[in-house]
Structure 1
Amino acid sequence: MTNEETISVLNDLIEVSKDGEREFHDCAEEVTDPELLNFFTKTSQRCAEGAAMLQEQVRRLGGEPETEGSFSGAAHRMWVNLKTAVTGADKTSILKECERGEQHAVEAYEKALQEDLPSDVREMVEMQHNGVIANMERVHTLLQGQMQQ
């Protein structure tokens, strides 16, 4: 895989990470529950840290890193904001949207891992993939707990 192809894969993951950062930040602004607020805030920060690691790797490879999320991520947030304005910001709805966003992130990381990435890049992407899976599982657990109430 060429540096340019690797940079392209990493830039796609930067967009996904930036989308996650923004989505979890927005969710934190919508909740008052201390557990959810803490989770959303910390997860947003971890997404930002992940994006920064990816950006540094792109620079190391001689590329120009993405700095924003994706268009589809922005469109998804607009839809969520509209839906929230119409239906209210209940915890179940917020968690369902987070779960949907994390599923998208898992798929993006799995797609990246199908590429022939250099070993140091693969190691970082695998580590972040594991983090995204953990986020998705935590959101799922919180959602299940919320739906049982």
Structure 2
Amino acid sequence: MDTANYESEIKDVIERNVDAYRGYEKAAEKVKDPNLESVFHQQASQRKQFAYELASTAHVYDDEPTVKQIQDGSFEGNLHRTWMDIKAAFSSDNDEKIVEECIRGEKSALDEYEDITSHGLPHELENKIHEQERTIRECISDLERIENRLH
């Protein structure tokens, strides 16, 4: 994969992490359970860190990524957060629906991670992607356990 192609795809993955960061922050605002709120704040922090790590490792920005570059996110992510707002507003079981949406978002992110690793990346970047991918898989498992508890 040439540098220009992987930079574009890495920027997409960075945006996905920003979307996850913002989505988890939104989810933390919406849930009733203080323990779940804490879980979502931790996940938000982790995903923001993922974005910075990828930007630094991939060197896809001229300098270190600025807060604005990292915090912009994507149009699709903004739509997903709006959908979370709508579902939460009409759902009688907010926490469970919000956890379901977080799982859906994480599975979508995982698809994007798996796709980019199939293209061949510089070694250091590929290692970082695989490390983050494992963490996302763990997060999905944790969220699925939480979801089962909420049923």
Same fold (TM over 0.5): yes
1:27-106 alignment runs, 5 A limit = 27-59=27-59, 62=62, 66-67=69-70, 68-88=72-92, 90-106=94-110
Cα RMSD, aligned residues only: 1.9
The whole-number CA distance in structure 1 between the counterparts of 2:101 and 2:144 is 11
Residue range with higher mean Cα deviation, 11-20 or 76-85: 76-85
The whole-number CA distance in structure 2 between the counterparts of 1:69 and 1:104 is 15
For residue 26 of structure 1, what is the aligned residue in structure 2?
A: 26
Q: Number of paired residues? A: 147
1:1-12 alignment runs, 5 A limit = 1-12=1-12
The whole-number CA distance in structure 1 between the counterparts of 2:62 and 2:55 is 11
The one of 125, 134, 139 aligned to 2:143: 139
Unaligned runs of 5+ in 2: none
The whole-number CA distance in structure 2 between the counterparts of 1:118 and 1:61 is 16
The whole-number CA distance in structure 1 between the counterparts of 2:64 and 2:78 is 21
TM-score between both structures, scaled by the size of structure 1: 0.89
The whole-number CA distance in structure 2 between the counterparts of 1:59 and 1:32 is 40
The whole-number CA distance in structure 1 between the counterparts of 2:54 and 2:4 is 14
For residue 128 of structure 2, what is the aligned residue in structure 1?
A: 124
Determine what percentage of the aligned residue pairs are the same residue: 27
Shift of 1:34: 2.5
The whole-number CA distance in structure 2 between the counterparts of 1:62 and 1:6 is 15
The one of 112, 116, 123 aligned to 1:108: 112
Shift of 1:86: 2.6
Question: Do the aligned partners of 1:11 and 1:58 also contact (CA within 8 Å) in 2?
Answer: no
For residue 13 of structure 2, what is the aligned residue in structure 1?
A: 13
The whole-number CA distance in structure 2 between the counterparts of 1:103 and 1:60 is 25
AA of the residue aligned to 1:115: H
TM-score between both structures, scaled by the size of structure 2: 0.88
The whole-number CA distance in structure 2 between the counterparts of 1:44 and 1:89 is 22
The whole-number CA distance in structure 2 between the counterparts of 1:54 and 1:35 is 29
CA-to-aligned-CA distance 1:87-109 (integer Å, 9 cap, x gap)? 35621111111111111111111
